[in-house]
Structure 1
Amino acid sequence: MDQLSRYKKQAKLGEGTYGEVFRVQDTENNEILAMKKIQVENDEEGIPGTAIREISLLRELNHENVVKIRRVICQNRKVYIMFEHCEMDLRKFMNANDLSQKLVRELTKQVMAGTNYCHIHRVMHRDLKPQNVLLNISGGQPICKLADFGLARSFGVPIRHYTHEIVTLWYRSPEVLLGSKLYSTAVDVWSIGCIMAELSTGEPLFQGRSEVEMLFEIFQLRGTPTEDSWPGVSQLKDWRDTFPKLMGQSLQKRLRNSLSAQGFDLLEKLLEMDPGKRIPLSEAMSHKWFLE
Structure 2
Amino acid sequence: MENAADTDPDPIKLKSIKNNRTFTVPQKHRFGNCRSVKEFEKLNRIGEGTYGIVYRARDTRSDDIVALKKVRMDKEKDGIPISSLREITLLLKLRHPNIVELKEVVVGSHLESLFLVMSYCEQDLASLLENMPTPFSEAQVKCIALQLLRGLDYLHLNFILHRDLKVSNLLMTDKGCVKIADFGLARCYGIPLQPMTPRVVTLWYRAPELLLGTKTQTTALDMWAVGCILAELLAHKPLLPGGSEIQQVDLIVQLLGTPNENIWPGFTRLPLVGQYSLRKQPYNNLKNKFTWLSDAGLRLLNLLFMYNPLRRATAKDCLESSYFKEKPLPCEADLMPTFPHHRNKRAAPAVESQSKRNKVLASR
**Per the shorter chain, which TM-score range?**
over 0.9
Structure 2 alignment gaps of length 5 or more = 1-27, 29-34, 327-364
Aligned residues: 288
| Aligned residue identity for 2:146 | K
Matched, 1:6 2:6: no
Match of 2:236 among 189, 199, 202: 202
Change (3 A) 1:222 1:43: closer
Mapped partners of 2:295, 2:222: distance in 1:
23
Mapped partners of 2:212, 2:98: distance in 1:
31
Matched, 1:131 2:165: no
Structure 1 alignment gaps of length 5 or more = none
- Paired residues for 1:1-292 under 5 Å: 3-41=36-74, 44-75=77-108, 76=110, 77-95=112-130, 96=132, 97-138=134-175, 142-240=176-274, 242-257=277-292, 259-292=293-326
Mapped partners of 1:263, 1:94: distance in 2:
21
1:256 deviates by: 3.9
* Contact 1:194–1:204 (Cα < 8 Å) also in 2: yes
Between 1:175-184 and 1:248-257, the stretch displaced more is 248-257
| SS of structure 1 residue aligned to 2:246 | helix
For the pair shown, the structure with the greater C-alpha radius of gyration is 2
Asked which structure has the greater RCO (Cα within 8 Å, sep 6+), the reply is 2
| Aligned residue identity for 1:22 | Y
Root mean square deviation, CA, Å = 1.5
TM-score normalised to the size of structure 1? 0.95
| Aligned residue identity for 2:309 | P
Mapped partners of 2:192, 2:226: distance in 1:
24
Cα offsets for 1:11-66 (capped at 9, x unmatched): 01122213211110011111100001124347732111111111001111110000
1:5 deviates by: 2.3
Change (3 A) 1:234 1:41: same
TM-score normalised to the size of structure 2? 0.76
1:287 deviates by: 0.6
Mapped partners of 2:119, 2:76: distance in 1:
29
Change (3 A) 1:265 1:99: same
| SS of structure 2 residue aligned to 1:24 | strand
| SS of structure 1 residue aligned to 2:273 | coil
The corresponding residue for 2:7 is: none
Displacement over 6 Å in runs of 4+: none
Mapped partners of 1:176, 1:253: distance in 2:
26
* Contact 2:86–2:186 (Cα < 8 Å) also in 1: yes
| SS of structure 1 residue aligned to 2:38 | helix
| Aligned residue identity for 1:245 | K
